[in-house]
């Protein structure tokens, strides 16, 4: 992927806020895309990012999670698992398309279009420094933290 800044976008965020990508207000920004609130893999991933959140902040990084779920669904998910970072609702797939995470997948023997679990680390200028695609949820947050700590 070319080392260029990601185009700006704005999405509704939990807590009644709006999230705008630029300017990035931290040394780095972790954007993780996940398929659906309250599903086993997505819950594991969110909990592991939650459990390492203080270490991400110490490393100068912020985290946001993005899926196509509604803000209401995100608020319930965030509250249920005490997530300290914002979840963004991308119901029209604007950010999903920007990062190219929408894929055809097999689910219960049927072809469905959905988010491929992916994570991107952007530097303070909004340039993608590392990306993971089609990843397994368990253990991934630690791998991202290890990378962020080298920036």
Q: How far apart are CA 45 and CA 38, in angstroms?
A: 11
Active-site annotation holds for 42: yes
Q: Under a CB-based contact definition with an 8 Å cutoff, are residues 35 and 42 in contact?
A: yes
CA distances from 80 to 73, 75, 76 (A): 11, 8, 6
Among candidate residues 13, 42, 66, 86, the one labeled active-site is 42
Q: Which residues contact 13 (CB under 8 A, 6 or more apart)?
A: 19, 64, 71, 86, 87, 88, 89
Q: Is 34 helix (H, G, I), strand (E, B) or coil?
A: coil
**Paired sense of beta strands 28-33 and 102-107, if any:** unpaired
* Beta-strand runs (E) in 77-139: 86-89, 102-107, 110-115, 118-123, 128-133
Residues with a catalytic annotation lie at 42
């Amino acid at each position: 992927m070319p080392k260029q800044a990601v185009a700006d976008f704005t999405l509704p965020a939990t807590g009644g806020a709006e999230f705008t990508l630029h300017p990035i207000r931290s040394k780095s920004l972790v954007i993780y895309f996940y398929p659906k609130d309250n599903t086993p893999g997505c819950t594991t991933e969110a909990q592991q990012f939650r459990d390492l959140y203080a270490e991400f902040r110490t490393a100068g990084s912020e985290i946001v999670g993005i899926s196509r779920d509604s803000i209401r669904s995100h608020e319930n998910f965030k509250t249920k698992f005490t997530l300290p970072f914002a979840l963004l609702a991308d119901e029209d797939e604007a950010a999903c398309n920007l990062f190219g995470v929408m894929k055809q997948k097999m689910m219960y023997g049927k072809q469905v279009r959905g988010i491929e679990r992916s994570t991107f680390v952007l530097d303070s200028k909004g340039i993608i420094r590392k990306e993971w695609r089609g990843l397994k949820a368990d253990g991934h947050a630690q791998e991202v933290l290890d990378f962020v700590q080298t920036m």
